[in-house]
């Protein structure tokens, strides 16, 4: 044999060997693929089964919970007459998913919305479970005549004892009709309602359904059966009979009964003879079944049954080849990438639209809320300027000044609200935990709202019952929340109405107490639709009762964020036209009452004459705005203090450096000034080589109110922080404290 033939034989043998290896690998791959597909199909069947089991269980639990809610409402109604009781039952029937709601008294008479059925005139199975000590049940019935269900055919009856309805309630009193007590409540639904949440058919191939879901009870009756026909004989179809009639089955009917009586999950295969309408002949179908109990408790004695034609396994295996998998992978990859890009683009567009809408709404609201009071202030100032030299209008000018001051305070509150909202949303508000007195908080809220409530002719009813007078918390933020709630109650309550503010406490674990502040009014109330958005920014319900009431809609948003930051919850209940109730539940640690809270402090107000008898404080005011400087210098001078003015930070440092030692007691330092800002000026003063450079009191006096501004001011050497617009009372209190310290 020559070399060429040997080479050809080797090539052929190699090709045959490679082919055999490829075939073997392909067979192994196909076998593995078949096994994977079978396991995936079984897993899919299991997922469908678990989904429907969960859906059925939830549906049953929902109906039982509905019976409980109905019983609570019936108990609250306290009907005295049968007509009232039947009318209420009729209302519950129309408002719930039940075709009928029925109550069973202690003599087992059944009360319907239309009449009373005496015991003995109905199927005793309806209540025999309860008679035998069952707390709740659901059973399948076929009613041959309407009886009291209002319809014929298959129905599901849910039953529950009244005692079980209220087993978890603090109030365990029964449902009554006059002096008659009821033992149980029944609700009836159609089995068709169960089918809505189920995957009844699946594994469709060329339009043919190869998988079905069903629900059966322990005696084999079908509760839900998508294969049922309109033939009335089909109503008697029984699961166990079908097993006995099988051509071949891996499980006998007795074995199935035994497993179901022990609440076991199981699977089996079955071959049945079926009629093929397309060919007019009978054929044999092999099916795979999965059975699991709906619940592991007696009240729901049903099984979920899923059957799938075994051809599904073969069709899935043979229809998938490597090329199709690759093609599918490529197509899916392209689709997923395209879908991902579409989703990203949609997400960006939606975010941009939402952001633009939010900005537009914000600017629109702020423009309206700021321009309205500004317009009033501009008009008032015009009137004041024109009338200031007319003696006969002196009282009118005073009234205009008061209104202008009130409007300015409203503008300040608006700005504070916006800043608070910004800081809260950014998480930059620090909540302090210091001892506070509950009654002091409520007294302060009442004092701040006294004029507002009395002026509106509203009755204010405090109801304070507490067990721990002192807790740890943030008194400023708590007062802010309560003042906002009470002021809203006054704002939306008509003259002659009433506001009830109550405080209750109960002990918690770990040395804590839950304090509940409640404010209930008889005002105009709110709609249920508005309650869903009440804590959103810039929301205020607009109706005929509130159209004339101004507000930014920020108050409730801020209150909600503050209460959340304090670890509590803010709840609201309201009914349009009847009033609202806000409740702040605040858990806090119990605190011992400090001496400074328990002692009565003497008044700190001093007259100007008294201050002038003492050595007056000398204050250096660092302020670049001429109007602001003029105002603060005039206030300080009228209160008996000495004051000098520096128009920028650099001049402030120079004036202090050239002054006599201890000439200045206090420096009011603006944060933003030309040439040198307040922080740099403070650092420069603290670094001077003179005795009083380290001890002179420097107070930041600025419109910068964020936490980082306060930190920067303290780090630069300042002693404390005052925000603009300056509260004159706070400033004078601080200066009087300095005088008292100097006096000592």
**452-469 residue pLDDT tens:** 788 888 888 889 999 999
What pLDDT does 549 receive?
Answer: 45
Q: Which residues pair with 180 in a beta bridge?
A: 177
pLDDT digits (tens, 9 = 90+) for 120-140: 777 787 788 776 778 888 888
Q: Write out the two tokens for 146.
A: 């309407």
What pLDDT does 231 receive?
Answer: 47
The length of the chain in residues reads 744
Tell me the mean pLDDT in the region 281-308: 79
Any alpha helices (H) in 78-135, and if so which ranges?
Answer: 82-95, 125-131
Q: Which residues pair with 499 in a beta bridge?
A: 460, 521
| pLDDT of residue 235 exceeding 80 | no
What pLDDT does 545 receive?
Answer: 47
Asked if 262 contacts 277 with a C-beta cutoff of 8 angstroms, the reply is no
What pLDDT does 211 receive?
Answer: 74
| pLDDT of residue 687 exceeding 90 | yes
CA-to-CA distance for 716 and 683, rounded, in angstroms? 5
Query: Which of 348 and 61 is assigned the larger pLDDT?
Result: 61
* Mean pLDDT, the chain, integer: 77
What pLDDT does 15 receive?
Answer: 56
Band the pLDDT of 506: cuts 50, 70, 90: very high
Query: Which of 99 and 228 is assigned the larger pLDDT?
Result: 99
Residue 106 DSSP class: T
Band the pLDDT of 710: cuts 50, 70, 90: confident
Q: Torsion angle, CA of 128/133/139/145, rounded to 10 degrees? A: 20
The gap from C-alpha 110 to its chain's centroid, in whole angstroms, comes to 41
Cis peptide before 725 (omega within 30 of 0): yes
Least confident stretch, 52-66, 350-364, 543-557: 543-557
Q: Please provide residue 113's backbone torsions phi and psi, each rounded to the nearest 5 degrees.
A: -70, -10
CA-to-CA distance for 149 and 353, rounded, in angstroms? 53
Tell me the mean pLDDT in the region 418-446: 73
| pLDDT of residue 686 exceeding 50 | yes
Highest mean pLDDT among 141-155, 480-494, 503-517: 503-517
pLDDT digits (tens, 9 = 90+) for 35-50: 666 667 667 767 777 7
Q: Write out the two tokens for 124.
A: 């005793």
Residue 40: half-sphere exposure toward Cβ, Cα within 13 Å: 12
Strand 697-702 relative to strand 666-669: parallel, antiparallel, unpaired? parallel
Q: Write out the two tokens for 420.
A: 């608070």
pLDDT digits (tens, 9 = 90+) for 372-398: 666 667 777 777 887 888 888 788 888
Largest CA distance in the chain: 141
Band the pLDDT of 330: cuts 50, 70, 90: low
DSSP run (H or E) holding 215: strand 208-217
| pLDDT of residue 107 exceeding 50 | yes
Asked if 608 contacts 639 with a C-beta cutoff of 8 angstroms, the reply is yes
Q: Which residues pair with 436 in a beta bridge?
A: 471
Asked if 438 contacts 472 with a C-beta cutoff of 8 angstroms, the reply is no
Any alpha helices (H) in 388-431, and if so which ranges?
Answer: 394-425
What percent of the chain has pLDDT above 70?
A: 70
CA-to-CA distance for 41 and 188, rounded, in angstroms? 37
Q: How many angstroms separate the first and last alpha carbons of the chain?
A: 128
| pLDDT of residue 621 exceeding 70 | yes
What pLDDT does 604 receive?
Answer: 40
Phi-psi region of 617 (alpha: psi -120 to 50; beta: other; left: phi over 0): beta
CA-to-CA distance for 270 and 355, rounded, in angstroms? 60
What pLDDT does 255 receive?
Answer: 93
Residue whose C-alpha is closest to residue 311's, from 285, 334, 333: 285
Q: Which residues pair with 182 in a beta bridge?
A: 105
Q: What is the 3-state secondary structure (H, E, C) of 647-715?
A: CCHHHHHHHHHHCCCCCCCEEEECCCCCCCCHHHHHHHHHCCCCHHHCCCEEEEEECCCCHHHHHHHHH
CA-to-CA distance for 116 and 93, rounded, in angstroms? 16
Tell me the mean pLDDT in the region 635-651: 91
Q: Torsion angle, CA of 192/233/222/129, rounded to 10 degrees? A: 90
Q: Please enumerate in sequence order all residues whose Cβ is within 8 A of that of 407, keeping only pairs 6 or more positions apart, or say none.
A: 373, 376, 377, 380
CA-to-CA distance for 463 and 742, rounded, in angstroms? 45
What pLDDT does 602 receive?
Answer: 37
What pLDDT does 410 receive?
Answer: 60
Least confident stretch, 83-97, 416-430, 664-678: 416-430
pLDDT digits (tens, 9 = 90+) for 186-217: 998 887 777 666 665 666 555 566 777 788 88
Distances (CA, A) of 402 to 391, 398, 408: 18, 6, 10
Residue whose C-alpha is closest to residue 111's, from 121, 101, 98: 101
| pLDDT of residue 729 exceeding 60 | yes
What pLDDT does 610 receive?
Answer: 46
- Mutual orientation of helices 555-565 and 475-491 as an angle, nearest 10°? 150
| pLDDT of residue 695 exceeding 80 | yes
pTM score: 0.39
Highest mean pLDDT among 224-233, 354-363, 403-412, 479-488: 479-488
| pLDDT of residue 553 exceeding 60 | no
Tell me the mean pLDDT in the region 620-628: 87
What pLDDT does 114 receive?
Answer: 86
What pLDDT does 126 receive?
Answer: 78
The CB density around residue 636, as the number of other CB atoms within 10 Å, is: 23
Least confident stretch, 180-189, 511-520, 600-609: 600-609
Distances (CA, A) of 598 to 105, 468, 515, 518, 595: 60, 14, 20, 25, 5
CA-to-CA distance for 273 and 163, rounded, in angstroms? 51
Tell me the mean pLDDT in the region 89-95: 88
| pLDDT of residue 646 exceeding 90 | yes
Query: Which of 197 and 656 is assigned the larger pLDDT?
Result: 656
SS3 content of the chain, % helix, strand, coil (to 5): 50, 25, 30
What pLDDT does 316 receive?
Answer: 55
Tell me the mean pLDDT in the region 131-152: 71
Q: Which residues pair with 286 in a beta bridge?
A: 271
Highest mean pLDDT among 86-90, 149-153, 479-483: 86-90
Only one residue has tokens 């005073």, namely 398
What pLDDT does 505 receive?
Answer: 92
Band the pLDDT of 8: cuts 50, 70, 90: low
Residue 724 burial by Cβ neighbours in a 10 Å radius (0-12, 13-18, 19+)? middle
| pLDDT of residue 232 exceeding 50 | no
Band the pLDDT of 665: cuts 50, 70, 90: very high
CA angle 484, 485, 487 (to 5 degrees): 65
Q: Please enumerate in sequence order all residues whose Cβ is within 8 A of that of 404, keeping only pairs 6 or more positions apart, or say none.
A: 376, 377, 380, 381, 384
418 in helix, strand or coil? helix
Residue 424: half-sphere exposure toward Cβ, Cα within 13 Å: 22
Query: Which of 600 and 68 is assigned the larger pLDDT?
Result: 68
């Amino acid at each position: 044999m020559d070399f060429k033939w040997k080479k050809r034989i080797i090539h052929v043998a190699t090709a045959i060997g490679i082919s055999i290896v490829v075939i073997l690998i392909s067979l192994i791959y196909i076998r593995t693929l078949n096994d994977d597909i079978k396991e995936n199909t079984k897993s899919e069947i299991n997922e469908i089964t678990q989904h429907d089991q969960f859906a059925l269980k939830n549906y049953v639990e929902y109906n039982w919970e509905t019976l409980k809610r109905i019983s609570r409402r019936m108990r609250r109604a306290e009907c005295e007459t049968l007509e009232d009781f039947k009318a209420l039952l009729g209302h519950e029937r129309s408002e719930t998913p039940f075709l009928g709601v029925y109550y069973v008294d202690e003599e087992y008479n059944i009360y319907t919305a239309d009449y009373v059925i005496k015991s003995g005139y109905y199927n005793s199975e309806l209540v025999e479970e309860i008679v035998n000590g069952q707390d709740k049940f659901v059973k399948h019935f076929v009613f041959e005549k309407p009886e009291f269900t209002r319809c014929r055919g298959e129905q599901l009856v849910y039953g529950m004892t009244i005692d079980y309805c209220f087993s978890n309630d603090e109030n365990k009193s029964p449902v009554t009709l006059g002096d008659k007590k009821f033992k149980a409540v029944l609700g009836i639904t159609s089995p068709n309602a169960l089918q809505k949440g189920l995957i009844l058919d699946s594994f469709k191939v060329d339009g043919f359904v190869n998988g079905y879901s069903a629900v059966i009870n322990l005696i084999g009756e079908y509760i839900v059966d998508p294969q049922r026909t309109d033939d009335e004989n089909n109503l008697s179809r029984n699961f166990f009979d079908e097993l006995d009639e099988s051509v071949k089955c891996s499980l006998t009917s007795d074995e199935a009964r035994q497993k179901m009586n022990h609440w076991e999950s199981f699977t089996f295969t079955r071959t049945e003879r079926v009629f093929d309408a397309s060919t007019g002949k009978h054929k044999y179908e092999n099916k795979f079944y999965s059975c699991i109990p709906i619940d592991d408790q007696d009240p729901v004695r049903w099984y979920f049954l899923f059957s799938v034609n075994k051809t599904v396994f073969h069709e899935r295996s043979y229809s998938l080849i490597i090329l199709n998998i690759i093609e599918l992978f490529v197509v899916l990859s392209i689709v997923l990438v395209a879908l991902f890009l579409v989703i990203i683009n949609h997400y960006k567009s939606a975010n941009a639209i939402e952001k633009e809408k939010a900005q537009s709404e914000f600017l629109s609201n702020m423009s309206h809320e700021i321009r309205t009071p500004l317009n009033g202030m501009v008009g008032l100032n015009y009137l004041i300027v024109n009338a200031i030299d007319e003696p006969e209008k002196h009282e009118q000018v005073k009234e205009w000044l008061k209104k202008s001051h009130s409007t300015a305070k409203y503008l300040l509150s608006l700005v504070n609200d916006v800043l608070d909202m910004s800081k809260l949303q950014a998480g930059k508000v620090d909540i302090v935990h210091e001892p506070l007195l509950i009654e002091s908080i409520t007294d302060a809220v009442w004092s701040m709202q006294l004029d507002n409530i009395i002026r509106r002719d509203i009755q204010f009813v405090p109801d304070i019952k507490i067990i721990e007078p002192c807790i740890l918390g943030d008194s400023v933020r708590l007062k802010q929340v309560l003042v906002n709630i009470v002021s809203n109650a006054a704002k939306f309550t008509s003259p002659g109405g009433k506001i009830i503010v109550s405080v209750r406490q109960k002990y918690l674990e770990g040395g804590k107490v839950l304090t509940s502040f409640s404010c209930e009014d008889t005002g105009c109330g709110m709609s249920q639709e508005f309650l869903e958005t009440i804590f959103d920014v810039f929301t205020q319900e607009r109706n005929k009762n509130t159209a004339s009431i101004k507000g930014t809609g920020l108050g409730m948003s801020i209150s909600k964020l503050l209460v959340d930051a304090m670890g509590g919850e803010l709840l609201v209940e309201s009914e349009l036209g009847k009033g609202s109730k806000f409740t702040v539940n605040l858990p806090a640690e119990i605190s011992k009452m400090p001496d400074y809270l328990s002692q009565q402090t003497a008044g700190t107000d001093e007259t100007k004459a008294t201050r002038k008898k003492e050595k007056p404080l000398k204050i250096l005011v660092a302020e670049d705005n001429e109007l602001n400087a003029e105002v603060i210098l005039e206030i300080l001078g009228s209160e008996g203090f000495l004051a000098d003015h520096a128009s920028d930070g650099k001049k402030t440092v120079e004036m202090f450096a050239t002054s006599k030692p201890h000439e200045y007691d206090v420096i009011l330092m603006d944060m933003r000034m030309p040439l040198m800002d307040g922080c740099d000026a403070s650092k420069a003063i603290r670094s001077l080589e003179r005795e009083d450079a380290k001890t002179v009191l420097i107070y930041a006096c600025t419109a910068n109110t964020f936490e980082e501004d306060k930190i920067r001011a303290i780090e630069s050497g300042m002693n404390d922080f005052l925000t603009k617009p300056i509260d004159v009372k706070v400033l004078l209190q601080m200066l009087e404290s300095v005088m008292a310290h100097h006096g000592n």
